[in-house]
């Protein structure tokens, strides 16, 4: 499952699935309405947008409804708490691409042709500037097009 952008209004930074590779240890004493929360399907590390801008470890059921929340001092603390009760879940954390993407990347970091989107490993060469890149295949294509247009 892809990380959701939001869970109940909270921005999801990291998302992990409690799958077959995870061993549930039941080490989290988290009570909601006097009931200790049970094993959760999904864990998320979220940022509270309004108010205190807290980092939160969020436990969700299959429908992504929040079962319980632990306030964190750091993302690393969230990893530790999760791993302590969900052994092996550390390998399942997925960063939310939507948030990462919003930080602007230069063409060289993206490293793919701006015209056909092929990554550098799929083409012979990429030419360009900081802002955009073009691969050798697109140069050939566009130069052939240019010849056809001018030779008309
Ligand atoms: Zn290209």
Torsion angle of the four alpha carbons 96, 6, 37, 78, in this order, in degrees rounded to the nearest 10: 40
Confidence of residue 36 (pLDDT cuts 50, 70, 90): very high
Does residue 56 come out as left (phi exceeding 0), alpha (psi in the -120 to 50 range) or beta? beta
Which residues neighbour ligand 1 (ion) by CB within 5 Å? 113, 115-116, 135, 138
pLDDT of residue 54: 85
CA of 152 to the centre of ligand 1 (A): 25
Cα of 110 to ligand 1 centre, how many Å?
13
> Cα of 117 to ligand 1 centre, how many Å?
6
How far apart CA 37 and CA 112 sit, in angstroms, is 45
**Residue 140 C-alpha to ligand 1 middle, in angstroms?**
9
Domain borders along the chain are 6-101, 104-151
**pTM, entire model:** 0.62
Name, of 16-25, 40-49, 111-120, the range with top average pLDDT: 16-25
Q: Report pLDDT for 107.
A: 44
Q: Could you tell me the distance, in angstroms and rounded to a whole number, from the CA of residue 104 to the centre of ligand 1?
A: 21
Residue 34 Cα to ligand 1 midpoint, Å, equals: 59
Which position has the token pair 């799958």?
19
State residue 96's pLDDT score: 84
Residue written as tokens 């060469």?
Answer: 125
20 CA distance to ligand 1 centroid (A)? 41
* Mean pLDDT, the chain, integer: 86
């Amino acid at each position: 499952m892809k990380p959701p952008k939001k869970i109940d209004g909270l921005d999801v930074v990291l998302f992990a699935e409690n799958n077959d590779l995870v061993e549930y240890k039941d080490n989290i004493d988290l009570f909601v309405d006097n009931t200790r929360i049970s094993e959760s399907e999904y864990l998320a590390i979220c940022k509270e947008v309004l108010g205190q801008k807290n980092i939160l470890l969020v436990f969700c059921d299959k429908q992504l409804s929040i079962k319980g929340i632990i306030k964190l001092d750091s993302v690393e603390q969230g990893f530790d708490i999760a791993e302590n009760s969900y052994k092996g879940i550390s390998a399942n954390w997925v960063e939310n691409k939507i948030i990462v993407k919003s930080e602007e990347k230069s063409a060289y970091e993206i490293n793919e042709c701006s015209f056909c989107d092929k990554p550098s490993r799929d083409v012979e060469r990429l030419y360009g500037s900081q802002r955009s890149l073009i691969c050798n295949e697109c140069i050939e294509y566009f130069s052939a097009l240019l010849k056809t247009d001018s030779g008309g």
